């Protein structure tokens, strides 16, 4: 009997992100937080923490604490982590690392935070956060880095990798930049060809192949033939928001199925104002009829109706402008998008489990996108 291969990429777990605050001590031009401001008078409290965490525990969600920068309100972040930990919810902290020091790391460990991911988009940031990564590791926290890969920093990937290895980082996540702002700014992001070229160059960065650290990257777009050829137990998520695998929670009680920032996402409920409706939404699949008004219908140019209507169903819940389909979709080159939270492995790291998906093996079959 053939053993069932477990999913070893980023789409299998249910994950909730609580936006603790929209305050931040940095101003990165490509960060979703710039469009994700919410009224500072609307704040989290003990009762709302208790209310949402009970639901997350009952529905087997993991938790990430995000912002803005959550460490601008450390006491609130650790209070949330403690309550989450008591419910046996796996809890991570997302931070830019500027405020992270030994004292805060000790408090994080005590509060039950198991994973800390530091935004690390330059060699300078890697150098600045090196000591915190080492201390966190010594405390028993899984320390990781998240890097938005753009042309300006790809040459530094090898050096960033060395710093992470030297300081015992557990993992590294590499993301595609999603341009925000007005409709005109959508063109600033890398197109299909540019993104695939970056992935291929990333693969050849010194030390990344066979690294002792777990390295995962966002594929973003995949050849449709490769995607559908995967065995069912390895299928990647097309839209994690549609199936409520990825939810984003705000202090006013509103919850979105994916969608960063909230103004562009699909609201699936409010756990404070309509608890029963929200509970129902956690197991409901969101169809194209539930997209925001003005999103339109499937464009005629997508001729493979079997894929578009049965699999993709009109794009992700993070609707941009009036586009009905995911802006990354490049069907003319047989490239289709997958959930932003899916990460494929470039290196297995300490646990040595799962399959490695080298970009060269995935994308070389399609030739050069136009």
224-243 pLDDT, tens digit per residue, is 888 888 888 888 888 887 78
pLDDT at 232: 80
Mean per-residue pLDDT over the chain, rounded = 83
Q: Give me the torsion for CA of 177, 264, 75, 59, rounded to 10°.
A: -100
Which of the pair, 36 or 174, is modelled with greater confidence?
A: 174
The closest alpha carbon to 289, from 306, 314, 264, belongs to 314
Please, what's the largest Cα pairwise distance for the chain?
A: 59
Domain locations in the chain as residue ranges: 15-221+233-289+337-366, 222-232+290-336
Strand partners, 215: 172, 347
Q: Can you read off the two tokens belonging to residue 339?
A: 């959930």
What whole-number distance in Å separates Cα of residue 254 and Cα of residue 19? 11
pLDDT one-digit tens code per residue, 61-99: 999 999 889 999 999 999 999 999 999 999 999 999 999
Beta bridge partners of 270: 254
- Res 360 pLDDT > 50: yes
Confidence of residue 183 (pLDDT cuts 50, 70, 90): very low
Distances (CA, A) of 207 to 52, 212, 213: 42, 9, 10
**Interatomic CA distance for residues 87 and 24, integer angstroms:** 28
What number does CATH give the domain 15-221+233-289+337-366? 3.20.20.70
Task: Place 319 in a pLDDT band, splitting at 50, 70 and 90.
Answer: low
Q: Across residues 128-146, what is the average pLDDT?
A: 97
Using CA of residue 342, residue 348, residue 350, residue 354, what is the dihedral sign?
Answer: positive
Confidence of residue 303 (pLDDT cuts 50, 70, 90): low
The HSE-up count of residue 138 (CA atoms within 13 Å, CB side) is 11
Residues counted in the chain: 370
Q: pLDDT value at position 174?
A: 96
- Helix H or strand E encompassing 62: strand 62-66
pTM to 2 decimal places: 0.89
- At a CB cut-off of 8 Å and minimum separation 6, what does 321 contact? 183, 186
Listed range (168-172, 289-293, 355-359) with the worst mean pLDDT = 289-293
Residue with the bigger pLDDT between 366 and 41: it is: 366
Closest CA to 262 of 271, 274, 253: 253
- Residue 209 structure tokens: 């192949």
The rounded distance, in Å, linking the Cα atoms of 104 and 210 is 32
Tokens of 274: 């309509």
């Amino acid at each position: 009997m053939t053993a069932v291969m477990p999913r070893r990429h980023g789409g299998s777990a249910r994950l909730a992100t609580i936006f603790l605050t929209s305050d931040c001590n940095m101003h990165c031009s490509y960060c979703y937080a710039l469009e994700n401001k919410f009224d500072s008078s609307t704040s989290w409290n003990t009762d709302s923490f208790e209310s949402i965490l009970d639901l997350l525990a009952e529905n087997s969600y993991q938790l990430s604490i995000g912002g803005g920068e959550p460490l601008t309100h450390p006491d609130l972040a650790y209070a949330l982590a403690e309550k989450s930990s008591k419910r046996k919810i796996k809890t991570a902290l997302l931070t830019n690392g500027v405020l992270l020091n030994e004292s805060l790391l000790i408090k994080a460990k005590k509060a039950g935070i198991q994973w800390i991911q530091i935004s690390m988009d330059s060699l300078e940031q890697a150098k600045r956060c090196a000591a915190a990564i080492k201390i966190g590791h010594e405390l028993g926290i899984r320390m990781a880095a998240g890097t938005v890969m753009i042309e300006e920093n790809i040459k530094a990937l090898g050096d960033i990798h060395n710093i992470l290895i030297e300081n015992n980082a557990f993992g590294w996540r590499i993301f595609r930049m999603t341009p925000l702002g007005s409709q005109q700014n959508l063109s600033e992001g890398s197109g299909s060809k540019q993104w695939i070229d970056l992935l291929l160059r990333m693969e050849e960065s010194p030390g990344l192949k066979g690294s002792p650290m777990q390295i995962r990257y966002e594929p973003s777009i995949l050849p449709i033939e490769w995607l559908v050829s995967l065995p069912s137990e390895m299928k990647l998520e097309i839209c994690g928001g549609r199936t409520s695998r990825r939810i984003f929670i705000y202090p006013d009680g509103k919850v979105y199925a994916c969608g960063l920032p909230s103004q562009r996402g699909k609201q699936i409920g409010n756990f404070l104002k309509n608890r029963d409706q929200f509970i129902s939404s956690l197991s409901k699949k969101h169809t194209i009829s539930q997209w925001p008004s003005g999103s339109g219908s499937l464009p005629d140019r997508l001729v493979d109706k079997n894929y578009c209507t049965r699999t993709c169903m009109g794009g992700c819940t993070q609707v941009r402008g009036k586009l009905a389909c995911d802006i990354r979709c490049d069907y003319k080159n047989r490239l289709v998008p997958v959930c932003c939270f899916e990460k494929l492995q470039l290196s297995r790291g300490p646990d040595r489990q799962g399959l490695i998906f080298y970009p060269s093996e995935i994308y070389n079959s399609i030739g050069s996108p136009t």
